[in-house]
Amino acid sequence: MAMTLRLTDEESELLRACAEREGTSMQEIARIAISQYVSDRQRRLQSAIASVVTEDAVLLDRLSK
């Protein structure tokens, strides 16, 4: 499926430089980044939940009563 990705000039230049350094295409770098983001999402969500539970334990306890 085709998709248009709109980047700022700065983002485009950073992506281009990264692709040149790695000897690959900008598209491949973007695809890898998206794949990593999607596969890591569940871990980041669980980490955020654990952080809230830890940092707001007193408040959560008060709300549960």
| pTM for the full predicted model | 0.61
Q: Categorize the per-residue pLDDT at 60 as very low, low, confident or very high, splitting at 50, 70 and 90.
A: confident
Q: Categorize the per-residue pLDDT at 20 as very low, low, confident or very high, splitting at 50, 70 and 90.
A: very high
Q: What pLDDT is attached to residue 27?
A: 95
Q: What is the mean pLDDT of residues 8-34?
A: 96
CB 28 within 8 A of CB 15: no
CB 15 within 8 A of CB 30: yes
Helix axis angle for 26-55 and 9-22, nearest 10°, is 110
Q: What pLDDT is attached to residue 10?
A: 98
What percent of the chain lies above the pLDDT cut of 70?
100
